[in-house]
Amino acid sequence: MTPATEAPVLPDYILRIPTGTFRGLNPLTKLVFAAAAAIVAFGVRGWTGPAVAFVAVVVCGALSGSLRRMALFSLASLPLLVSILVVNTFLYPGAHDTLVVIGPLTATWSGATAALQGLLRVVAFGLSAALFALTTSIDDLMVELERRGLGRRGSYVVGSALGAVPRTLERAREVADAQRGRGMDTEGGPLRRLRGLVPLIGPVVFGALGEVEERAMALEARAFTAPGRRTILRALPDSSRQRMIRWTFLVGSVAAVAASLALPGRLP
């Protein structure tokens, strides 16, 4: 086969350099920020950890213009938040400082405080994950992880796993439509909807497994297992300033947790 020869200039739609105050950061910087926020939210005791993480994430969310979508994203954790609130407020072990009595249940101040702290931790973590997901595209993350030496298999697993979620949802919708076309009732009350799930599970799961097998062969046919490093077409911007920020986040979050553990009662 005789190829034509042209100048190796990458078009703009391949380079896709992210722009914006927070969005324009290197994906690794955003990933480290999200991890540091989670470490601080869950690792630093009292109100300080979750409050600092929450404020930091909200400020970055506002800078990136994603605050509204982050809030919608974090609605997914609503059942968890409700259970944290109820269980801690009413069933906090060893607490006797009654806040209010509702029938056989007694809400305590200690329980309510622990519940609100736990709630803030989960919200801060959820928002940090949402911020990362909303400001970083999957392929940007894959490019960066691969450039950092994760390897083609590792980065492909990360990327295809993230990409598999919408694909699986789409397949489930197709199967549900097909089942409805054959007379299955998937509308109505919760019990009826639950029954409607059963005939979806087989086609979706086995279809996905079959797809994995075919895709594995197709990847072999496209030299995926070739030795050595893959060619990386895109290079995302990074800087010594961002490297310093990443180390500061990492070291700072671990130090904050260590300080919180070493100095109990000194932080609010």
CB of 207 to other proteins, least distance (A): 11
Backbone angles phi, psi at 50, to 5 degrees: -60, -35
Please name the residues in contact with 116: beta carbons below 8 A apart, sequence gap of 6 or more. 85
Contact flag: residue 178 with other proteins (CB under 8 A): no
Binding test (CB under 8 A) with other proteins, winner from 149, 223, 264, 268: 223
CB of 115 to other proteins, least distance (A): 41
DSSP labels for 101-151?
EETTEEEEHHHHHHHHHHHHHHHHHHHHHHHHHHHS-HHHHHHHHHHTT--
- The residue written with tokens 């054959």 in the block is 182
- Write out the binding residues for other proteins, residues 114-143 only, by CB under 8 A: 137-139, 142
Contact assessment for residue 115 and residue 89, using Cβ atoms and an 8 Å cutoff? yes
**Other beta carbons within 10 Å of 33:** 24
Contact assessment for residue 108 and residue 99, using Cβ atoms and an 8 Å cutoff? yes
CB of 142 to other proteins, least distance (A): 6
The radius of gyration of the chain from alpha carbons, rounded to an integer in Å, stands at 24
Binding test (CB under 8 A) with other proteins, winner from 153, 229, 243, 266: 229
CB of 227 to other proteins, least distance (A): 8
Determine the interface stretch with other proteins among 20-28, 174-182, 195-203, 211-219 (rule: CB under 8 A): 211-219
Contact flag: residue 205 with other proteins (CB under 8 A): no
Contact flag: residue 232 with other proteins (CB under 8 A): yes
Contact flag: residue 153 with other proteins (CB under 8 A): no
Spell out, one character per residue from 8 to 47, where the chain touches other proteins: x when CB under 8 A holds, - when not: xxxx-xx-x-------------------------------
Instruction: Report which secondary-structure segment, H or E, holds 99.
Output: strand 98-102
CB of 267 to other proteins, least distance (A): 43
Please say whether the dihedral angle defined by the alpha carbons of residues 67, 73, 75 and 78, taken in this order, is positive or negative.
Answer: negative
Binding test (CB under 8 A) with other proteins, winner from 17, 91, 105, 233: 233
Contact flag: residue 172 with other proteins (CB under 8 A): no
AA identity, residue 6 = E
AA identity, residue 205 = V
Instruction: Please compute, for residue 144, the number of CA atoms within 13 A of its CA located in the half-sphere on the CB side.
Output: 19
Contact flag: residue 109 with other proteins (CB under 8 A): no
Across the strands, what pairs with 108?
Answer: 98
Binding test (CB under 8 A) with other proteins, winner from 189, 225, 240, 268: 225
Report the alpha-carbon distance of residue 112 to residue 164 in Å, rounded: 39
CB of 144 to other proteins, least distance (A): 14
Contact flag: residue 226 with other proteins (CB under 8 A): yes
Contact flag: residue 231 with other proteins (CB under 8 A): yes
By CB under 8 A, name the binding residues for other proteins.
1-6, 8-11, 13-14, 16, 137-139, 142, 152, 156, 159-160, 163-164, 167, 211, 214-233
